[in-house]
Amino acid sequence: MIETDKLTKRYGHLTAVDALSIYAEPGQVLGLLGPNGAGKTTAIRMIAGFFAPTAGTARVCGYDVRKQPLKAKRALGYLPEGAPSYGEMTVREFLVFIMRMRGLRSDVGRRRFDEVVGTLQLEDALNVTVDTLSKGLRRRVGLAQAIVHDPPVLMLDEPTDGLDPNQKHTVRQLIDAMARERTILISTHLLEEVHALCNRVVIIAGGKLRADATPAELEARSRYHGAVSFSAAGSGLSQEMLGRLPQVAGIEVDPLDGRVTVFPKPGERILEPVESLLRQQGLEVSEIQLERGRLDEVFRQITLGTETGAQP
Ligand SMILES: Nc1ncnc2c1ncn2[C@@H]1O[C@H](COP(=O)(O)OP(=O)(O)OP(=O)(O)O)[C@@H](O)[C@H]1O
């Protein structure tokens, strides 16, 4: 598991991470979200033991990362932002070096090496120097070094950054498969990644915790939660009638594609009355959809006006 208690990092007058307390347990993929400069990387580096906190504590599998750094590091696989270091080594040399550093026995090491190289499709890159790899391959090598010792806790900073859609899919499947027995924290800008991977989300902004919830709970905060949207040619008259339904709070029409969104009053369910009115009107409706809510809108609500140092 990962646990932080009032974790804080100050740079002079700037509080980059401000009394952050988060918790993630095995089976969880916790998404760490926040706008640029929110403090995500600083928080992750403190949990990984790379930076000393100004105050507060971080634990990995119960080990305090300052007091028991070796035990904490052994339990952790960490994919930092950007490219792996030791860029002058070949991929093979780099992975063997990492396995030795982490104290893997040679028989276990050989098996893990083959597994990880196969899973991340690195066979053709083994004799290539890390610095000369494409961005996507470098990211996969970074992931390989994070998982090669089969750690119970993984922290991945922007894991699919720089990958093409096929590679993104492969890496997400890999994370999903690893998640069952492990604790995984991923930092991401991509809200689609939250849907694809995370069962819990922490949003930070200005260094502070702003939300800690499941994706569905966050979606329920969106004004689109429970709205019904549809496309239909010549729906002008029906829109007026929909607006008069007692459960309906308002209607919006997308100026670009003409898609109509009908918003419910608080606590009302409107799919059935909207569908039945449209049926009565005999409209050819395509793609009628009950909206779960939009994470991008909730993310904006939560984070706007919360630049570093600002008060909530
Ligand atoms: N070494 C440093 N010295 C001074 N300020 C720093 C240092 N490192 C980070 N900061 C500041 O701390 C704040 C948090 O930065 P951090 O990189 O943790 O944010 P982030 O959420 O990871 O951003 P991004 O999404 O852009 O990577 C920012 O205002 C940043 O400028």
Q: What is the mean pLDDT of residues 142-148?
A: 91
The mean per-residue pLDDT over the stretch 284-312 comes to 78
Please tell me the distance from the alpha carbon of residue 153 to that of residue 95, in angstroms, as a whole number: 19
The contacts of residue 171 (CB under 8 Å, 6+ apart) are 140, 143, 159, 160, 163
Written as six digits, the tokens of 60 are 């990995």
Q: Average of pLDDT values for 55-71?
A: 96
Written as six digits, the tokens of 99 are 């396995």
Res 83: pLDDT: 65
How many angstroms is it from 41 CA to the middle of ligand 1? 7
Q: Is the pLDDT of residue 60 over 50?
A: yes
Report the pLDDT value the prediction gives residue 11, as an integer from 0 to 100: 96
Tokens found for residue 154: 């993984």
> In angstroms, rounded to a whole number, what is the distance separating the alpha carbons of residues 165 and 149?
27
Report the pLDDT value the prediction gives residue 19, as an integer from 0 to 100: 98
Task: Give the C-alpha separation, 99 to 125, whole Å.
Answer: 18
Letter for the amino acid at 29?
V
Residue 250 binned pLDDT confidence (cut-offs 50, 70, 90): very high
- Tokens 């829109």 — which residue? 239
End-to-end CA distance of the chain: 29
Give yes or no for residue 312 having a pLDDT over 70: no
Region 32-37 average pLDDT: 92
In degrees rounded to 5, what are phi and psi of residue 278?
-65, -35
Which atom of ligand 1 sits closest to the CA of residue 39?
18
pLDDT at residue 310 tops 70: no
149, two tokens: 């010792």
Give, for 198, the enclosing helix (H) or strand (E).
none
How would you classify residue 174: left for phi > 0, otherwise alpha for psi between -120 and 50, otherwise beta? Answer: alpha
Contact of 105 with 150, CB cutoff 8 Å: no
Tokens of 106: 């040679």
Identify whether the C-beta of residue 75 lies closer than 8 Å to the C-beta of residue 151: yes
CB 238 within 8 A of CB 283: yes
| Res 311 pLDDT > 70 | no
**Which segment, 234-238, 246-250, 254-258, 306-310, is predicted with the most confidence on average?**
246-250
With beta carbons less than 8 A apart as the criterion, state whether 44 and 79 touch: no
Counting ligand 1 atoms within 8 A of each CB, the residue from 9, 14, 32, 307 with the most, and so the one to mutate, is 14
Question: Given a cut of 80, is residue 190 above it in pLDDT?
Answer: yes
Share of the chain above pLDDT 90, in %: 60
Name the strand (E) or helix (H) holding 230: strand 228-232
Assess whether pLDDT exceeds 60 at residue 306.
no
pLDDT tens for residues 70-118?
999 989 999 988 766 778 899 999 999 998 888 877 778 888 899 999 9
Pairing type for strands 55-60 and 2-11 reads antiparallel
Angle, CA 71 vertex, CA 115 and CA 76 arms, to 5°: 40
Between 48-57, 148-157, 252-261, 278-287, the lowest mean confidence (pLDDT) is in 278-287
Mean pLDDT of 276-303: 89
Report how far ligand 1's centroid is from the alpha carbon of 167 (Å). 28
The pLDDT value given to residue 76 = 94
Structure tokens at 12: 């002079």
Q: What is the dihedral of CA 263, 268, 272, 278, to 10 degrees?
A: -40
Within 8 A by CB and 6+ apart from 74, the residues are 102, 103, 149, 151
Sequence-distant (6+) residues with CB within 8 A of 172 are 160, 193, 196, 197
Give residue 254 CA to ligand 1 midpoint distance, Å. Answer: 37
Tokens of 238: 């029906």
Query: Which of 8, 40, 190, 209 to mutate for ligand 1's pocket (most ligand atoms within 8 Å of CB)?
Result: 40
**Ligand 1 centroid – CA 91 distance (Å):** 30
Cβ atoms of 77 and 146 closer than 8 Å: yes
Q: Which of 9, 11, 18, 190 to mutate to test the pocket of ligand 1 (most atoms within 8 A of CB)?
A: 11
Amino acid sitting at position 182: R
- Does residue 201 register a pLDDT over 90? yes
Q: Which residues line ligand 1 (CB under 6 A)?
A: 11, 14, 16, 34, 36-42, 308
Whether the per-residue pLDDT at 208 is higher than 70: the answer is yes
More confident residue, 54 or 100: 54
